[in-house]
């Protein structure tokens, strides 16, 4: 599936952008140099007739992304949160991709529900509305349970969506292999690995059982957060292609005038969205990784309600500490420490100069530190960051793609609600709280306690391990190499010592 036949798919993508007029809009938004504009025009114009026409009623870029397929729509959803990159007009036009795409017929949705749940829709629901929201992968219907009258949201996958995504992914793999072949310098960005990561994320979205599990886990981890709500999963009405959640009443976060009319403060909401994301990423290591305006509502009482849990991100404890230390270093303007953390985590090759890297980081951080969001040119900042990563040979970290992508989206959402938001000021108390709790003597004691608890599970085996180590160390005919003997004895001693330390620490913590 990933062979040269995908050349046609890529040619048609470029032709569609040219035919719909999207190519010109993209080049204008990126402030492309004249040479690139002329090149794109010369290469695109002869093939424009091969492009798909799309819906003429839609604006050019929205029209092109919609007709090209769901994977392209996902990209457009990200752009819709970044008016600082594509401009206010394009961001507004692309926002329809979040939840206002053309729906498929309700009768088809009902057929899927009956096939998946094994019972007629009329037996399960006393009411089942026309689509109230439609996105790239699924659409949502408002319904009422026949059993007890509770209102719910029923999410149904689009027919044929799996095949459509598979075609797009195959073309992306082919494009990535071409880029790696023709541009060796691009290999540090690991295009094929990035596409593989995207494929894994999409496959998770296409199984609504996994989304239901993500929603339930997210509800559990965010239970302490006042003013933040995750609708309850109705497990008996959920399956691979259907998911049912409690209905969430509220104003979509993207409708700023409606928020004001309902008595909500958009500026304060912008700060809360950013705070919640940072808290979830740092405190829990589990965060909503598709947090655009279409997936957030504000309830009448002011609670922020999250929806659509198909893409969830997870960070292990070590990565969270690295992430927090980097943020904390930037907040304190300690660029040397930020550089050290990058080297310690392996994000920068060890053969690079740490002082030069710290100086490069200062050139990134100083011009934007303390500025309101409206005064920061995100386009120039991203270009500078790319130059820095290229200069120091930094490779794409696929395990951080979701975090980085979500940071871009969340910051864009916060900016749209509060153009004067100061990102550093909002982040500082949350990062400092995490640092206090997770870095320092108390955190070290907790780590040692956890290590001791793990080793203590092997307590019953310690006598056998000690005996085996002593036999290997003492009996000549069964003697192991000296390094192995010392390693065995050291592990036994370490296990016993940490077990005792764990008992002692347990009395203190």
Asked if residue 93 is part of any domain, the answer here is yes
pLDDT band at 439 (very low <50, low <70, confident <90, very high): confident
Q: Which domain-ending residue is among 98, 127, 150?
A: 98
Dump the DSSP string for 374-425: GG--HHHHHHHHHHHHHHTTPPP-GGGHHHHHHHHHHHHHHHHH-TT--HHH
Give, to the nearest 10 degrees, the angle between helix 22-29 and helix 34-44: 170
Q: Are residues 411 and 449 in the same domain?
A: no
Q: Are residues 276 and 408 in the same domain?
A: yes
Average pLDDT (304-311) is 91
How far apart are the C-alpha atoms of 51 and 53, rounded to whole Å?
6
Asked if residue 185 is part of any domain, the answer here is no
Residue 119 or 398, more confident: 119
Residues near 81 by Cβ (< 8 Å), separated by ≥ 6?
91, 292, 293, 408, 409, 412, 413, 416
Q: Are residues 315 and 450 in the same domain?
A: no
The single-letter DSSP state of residue 282 is I
Question: Residue 437 is encoded by which pair of tokens?
Answer: 């709790």
Asked if residue 186 is part of any domain, the answer here is no
Residue from 225, 290, 303, 351 carrying the catalytic annotation: 290
Cβ atoms 369, 424 nearer than 8 A: yes
- Give all strands (DSSP E) within 257-337, no chain letters: 286-288, 296-298, 304-306, 312-314
Asked if residue 184 is part of any domain, the answer here is no
Average pLDDT (421-432) is 85
CB atoms within 10 A of CB 480: 14
Asked if residue 313 is part of any domain, the answer here is yes
CB atoms within 10 A of CB 318: 9
Q: Are residues 24 and 81 in the same domain?
A: yes
The residue segments making up the domain with residue 294 are: 251-439
Residue among 60, 62, 100, 420 nearest 254 (CA): 100
Cβ atoms 452, 501 nearer than 8 A: yes
Q: Are residues 381 and 474 in the same domain?
A: no
The backbone torsions φ and ψ at residue 130, rounded to the nearest 5 degrees and listed phi first, read: -65, 165
Residue 156 or 1, more confident: 156
Q: Examine the residue annotation and report whether 316 is marked as an active-site residue of this protein.
A: no
User: What's the number of domains the chain is made of?
Assistant: 3
Asked if residue 319 is part of any domain, the answer here is yes
Q: What is the mean pLDDT of the chain?
A: 80
Residues near 17 by Cβ (< 8 Å), separated by ≥ 6?
23, 26, 44, 51, 64
Q: Are residues 373 and 482 in the same domain?
A: no
Asked if residue 171 is part of any domain, the answer here is no
Asked if residue 230 is part of any domain, the answer here is no
Q: What percent of the chain has pLDDT over 90?
A: 28
Q: Are residues 479 and 403 in the same domain?
A: no
The backbone torsions φ and ψ at residue 140, rounded to the nearest 5 degrees and listed phi first, read: -120, 140
Q: Are residues 410 and 479 in the same domain?
A: no
Residues near 464 by Cβ (< 8 Å), separated by ≥ 6?
none
Q: Are residues 259 and 387 in the same domain?
A: yes
How high is the pLDDT of residue 265?
95
Give 54-110 pLDDT, tens digit per residue: 888 888 888 888 888 777 887 777 667 666 566 677 777 777 777 678 889 999 999
How high is the pLDDT of residue 286?
94
Dump the DSSP string for 123-178: HHEEEEEEEEEE-SSEEEEEEEETTT--EEEEEEEPTTHHHHHHHHHHHHHHHHHH
Average pLDDT (142-170) is 90
How high is the pLDDT of residue 488?
52
Q: Which domain-ending residue is among 40, 68, 98?
A: 98
Segment among 178-187, 266-275, 357-366, 470-479 with least mean pLDDT = 470-479
Residues 157-163: contacts with CB within 8 Å, 24+ apart?
157/112, 157/206, 157/208, 157/241, 157/242, 158/70, 158/104, 159/104, 159/108, 159/112, 161/70, 161/137, 161/206, 162/206
Tabulate helix, strand, coil % of the chain (nearest 5): 65, 10, 25
How far apart are the C-alpha atoms of 180 and 172, rounded to whole Å?
12
Q: Which domain-ending residue is among 98, 120, 136?
A: 98
How far apart are the C-alpha atoms of 139 and 154, rounded to whole Å?
8
Sign of CA dihedral 237, 240, 245, 249: negative
Dump the DSSP string for 425-474: HHHHHHHHHHHHHHSSHHHHHHHHHHHHHHHHTTGGGHHHHHHHHHHHHH
Give 206-224 pLDDT, tens digit per residue: 899 999 999 999 999 999 9
Q: Are residues 310 and 388 in the same domain?
A: yes
Q: Are residues 346 and 461 in the same domain?
A: no
Q: Are residues 275 and 416 in the same domain?
A: yes
Give, to the nearest 10 degrees, the angle between helix 60-68 and helix 70-79: 140
Cβ atoms 289, 438 nearer than 8 A: no
């Amino acid at each position: 599936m990933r062979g040269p036949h995908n050349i046609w798919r890529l040619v048609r993508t470029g032709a569609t952008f040219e035919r719909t007029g999207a190519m010109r809009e993209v080049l204008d938004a990126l402030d492309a140099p004249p040479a690139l504009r002329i090149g794109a025009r010369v290469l695109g114009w002869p093939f424009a007739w091969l492009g798909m026409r799309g819906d003429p009623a839609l604006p050019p870029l929205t029209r092109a992304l919609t007709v090209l397929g769901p994977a392209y729509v996902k990209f457009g959803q990200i752009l819709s949160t970044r008016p600082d990159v594509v401009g206010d007009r394009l961001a507004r036009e692309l926002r329809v991709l979040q939840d206002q795409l053309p729906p498929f017929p309700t009768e088809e949705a009902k057929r899927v529900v009956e096939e998946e749940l094994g019972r007629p829709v009329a037996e399960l629901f006393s009411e089942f509305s026309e689509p109230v929201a439609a996105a790239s992968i699924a659409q949502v219907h408002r319904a009422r349970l026949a059993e007890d009258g509770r209102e719910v949201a029923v999410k149904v996958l689009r027919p044929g969506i799996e095949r459509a995504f598979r075609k797009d992914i195959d073309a992306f793999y082919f494009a990535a292999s071409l880029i790696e072949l023709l541009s060796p310098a691009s290999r540090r960005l690991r295009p094929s690995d990035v596409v593989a990561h995207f494929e894994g994320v999409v496959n998770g979205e296409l199984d609504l059982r996994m989304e239901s599990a993500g929603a339930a886990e997210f509800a559990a981890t965010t239970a302490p957060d006042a003013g933040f709500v995750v609708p309850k999963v109705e497990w008996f009405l959920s399956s691979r292609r259907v998911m049912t959640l409690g209905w969430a009443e509220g104003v979509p976060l993207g409708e700023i005038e409606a928020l004001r009319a309902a008595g909500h403060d958009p500026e304060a909401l912008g700060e809360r969205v950013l705070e919640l994301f940072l808290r979830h990423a740092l405190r829990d290591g589990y965060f909503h990784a598709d947090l655009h305006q279409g997936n957030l509502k504000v309830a009448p009482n002011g609670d922020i309600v999250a929806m659509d849990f198909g893409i969830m991100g997870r960070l292990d404890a070590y990565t969270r500490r690295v992430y927090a230390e980097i943020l904390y270093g930037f907040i304190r303007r300690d660029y040397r420490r930020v550089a050290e953390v990058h080297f310690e985590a392996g994000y920068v090759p060890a053969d690079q100069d740490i002082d030069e890297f710290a100086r490069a980081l200062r050139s990134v951080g100083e011009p934007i530190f303390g500025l309101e969001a409206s005064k920061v040119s995100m386009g120039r900042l991203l270009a500078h960051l790319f130059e820095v990563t290229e200069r120091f040979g930094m490779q794409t970290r696929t395990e951080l793609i979701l975090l980085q992508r979500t940071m871009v989206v969340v910051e864009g959402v916060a900016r749209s609600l509060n153009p004067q938001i100061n990102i550093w000021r909002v982040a500082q108390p949350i990062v400092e709280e995490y640092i206090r709790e997770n870095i320092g003597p108390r955190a070290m004691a907790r780590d040692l306690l956890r290590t001791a608890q793990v080793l203590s599970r092997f307590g019953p085996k310690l006598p056998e391990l000690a005996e085996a180590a002593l036999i290997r160390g003492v009996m000549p005919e069964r003697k192991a190499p000296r390094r192995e003997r010392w390693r065995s004895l050291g592990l036994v001693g370490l296990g016993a010592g940490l077990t005792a330390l764990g008992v002692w620490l347990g009395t203190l913590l």
